Amino acid sequence: MKLLDRFLDGDRIALSRVITLLENDRDRRSAILDSLYPRSGKARRIGITGPPGAGKSTLADRLTSLLRKDGRTVGVIAVDPTSPFSGGALLGDRLRMQGAWDDPEVYVRSQADRSHAGGLSEATPHAMTALDAFGKDVIIVETVGVGQSALDVSEVSDTTVVLLTPESGDSVQAMKAGLMEIADVLVVNKADREGADRFASELRMIVDMRQWAEGWKPPVVLVSARDDTGMDGLYDQLNAHGDFLAGEDRLGKRRLRQGRSAIQRALGELWRGRLTERRDGGDTLDRLSERVARREIQPLAAAREIMDSLSI
Ligand SMILES: Nc1nc2c(ncn2[C@@H]2O[C@H](COP(=O)(O)OP(=O)(O)OP(=O)(O)O)[C@@H](O)[C@H]2O)c(=O)[nH]1
Ligand SMILES: [Mg+2]
């Protein structure tokens, strides 16, 4: 509990340690969250997603600078799907997050996505809770892609920024990847590259053709994160979306959805945990996998068998 006192005192080393425990220590995770969760919920959560190399880290860095100029404290989580070890990503992101690196009010963390599915790491929502409880005003989560993974960034964000580039292929591809569905703000990065204007107009046409049920039409913002152009426009749009959420308790509704999906994830985590806790858990899974492969039992029935054996 000493650790938590230091955490609550604003000790960054304690923050790092707490996040590491949340990532790795299944046994202590729940008890730590018991203390942190009631202290969280105040931070604004911004998700940034887009193809590899689109400029997400560079954008997060620029955004962090703007937020700091506004006097807001920032936590950044970068989820790297490509490397099983976060070391490489951390180094890379350190280099790219140059603007923010020396500022004690900015905390940057890299997490490896162990599923390699391009979504969030299982521990990302927990790390967000920690940063939130630590008192960060804004949490930025950067991740590659959505769709294939169990959890995508829009499920943990109040505002989801979808970042595309002129070279990331046509806008139809972005639609296919399901990116349009989750975008609150669409950003075309690398405005310095050829075809950026045309690409942005294409995206605007696509946005205009759709129905936007909630009464928010995602703006398309053209920026060059590298050259730091267009960033004020993006900042304004993020604030506009924040104001939009503040109206008619929309944020409350989003948080309700976030809560629901958090419980569902936790359920999965608990069941998986129970299975690995049991000495014969691995055997049971192995045995049933073989039977499923031999078509002797179908997967749903196998899962039910496991549930029945675990729930006593
Ligand atoms: N020309 C140009 N290059 C940019 C711009 N923004 C970022 N880049 C470059 O694009 C490359 C990738 O940038 P990152 O910020 O690392 O992109 P990312 O999306 O975080 O990459 P991953 O996390 O590896 O998926 C770097 O070489 C950047 O310097 C831009 O506005 N224009
Ligand atoms: Mg990155």
Residue 296: DSSP 8-state: S
Q: How far apart are CA 124 and CA 262, in angstroms?
A: 11
User: Which domains, from first to last, does the chain contain?
Assistant: 41-248 (3.40.50.300), 263-310 (no CATH)
In this predicted structure, the answer to whether residue 102 has a pLDDT above a threshold of 80 is no
In this predicted structure, the answer to whether residue 148 has a pLDDT above a threshold of 80 is no
What are the pLDDT digits (tens) for 187-220? 999 999 999 999 999 899 988 988 887 789 999 9
Please give the angle made by the CA atoms of 286, 292 and 296, to the nearest 5 degrees: 120
Take residue 6 and report the two structure tokens written for it.
Answer: 């230091």
Residues at Cβ < 5 Å from ligand 2 ion: 56-57
Verify whether ligand 1 is closer than 6 Å to residue 94 (CB atom): no
In this predicted structure, the answer to whether residue 170 has a pLDDT above a threshold of 70 is no
Verify whether ligand 1 is closer than 6 Å to residue 144 (CB atom): yes
In this predicted structure, the answer to whether residue 87 has a pLDDT above a threshold of 50 is no
Give me the percent of the chain exceeding a pLDDT of 70: 85
Q: How far apart are CA 78 and CA 112, in angstroms?
A: 8
Please give the pLDDT value at position 179: 79
From 226, 228, 229, 231, mutation site for ligand 1 pocket: most ligand atoms within 8 A of C-beta? 226
Take residue 296 and report the two structure tokens written for it.
Answer: 């002797």
Write down the mean pLDDT value for the chain.
86
Verify whether ligand 1 is closer than 6 Å to residue 54 (CB atom): yes
**CA 56–ligand 2 middle distance (angstroms):** 5
Helix (H, G, I), strand (E, B) or coil at 199: helix
Verify whether ligand 1 is closer than 6 Å to residue 296 (CB atom): no
Q: How many CA atoms lie within 13 A of 59 on its CB side?
A: 35
E strand intervals along 137-291: 138-144, 159-164, 185-188, 220-222
- Which of 16-25, 116-125, 219-228, 237-246 has the lowest average pLDDT? 116-125
Take residue 55 and report the two structure tokens written for it.
Answer: 């400029």
Which band of pLDDT confidence, cut at 50, 70 and 90, is reported for residue 312? low
Q: How far apart are CA 140 and CA 46, in angstroms?
A: 5
In this predicted structure, the answer to whether residue 137 has a pLDDT above a threshold of 90 is yes
Higher pLDDT, 297 or 269: 297
Average pLDDT score over residue span 282-295: 91
Q: What is the dihedral of CA 173, 177, 182, 188, to 10 degrees?
A: -40
Which ligand has the nearest atom to the CA of 50? 1
Nearest to 116 by CA among 84, 86, 138, 154: 84
Which band of pLDDT confidence, cut at 50, 70 and 90, is reported for residue 90? very low
Give me the percent of the chain exceeding a pLDDT of 90: 58
Average pLDDT score over residue span 35-42: 95
Q: How far apart are CA 6 and CA 277, in angstroms?
A: 31
Please give the pLDDT value at position 5: 95
User: Using an 8 Å Cβ cutoff, are 48 and 59 in contact?
Assistant: yes
Verify whether ligand 1 is closer than 6 Å to residue 143 (CB atom): no
Verify whether ligand 1 is closer than 6 Å to residue 82 (CB atom): no
In this predicted structure, the answer to whether residue 116 has a pLDDT above a threshold of 80 is no
- Which of 130-134, 170-174, 284-288 has the lowest average pLDDT? 170-174
Q: How far apart are CA 142 and CA 48, in angstroms?
A: 5
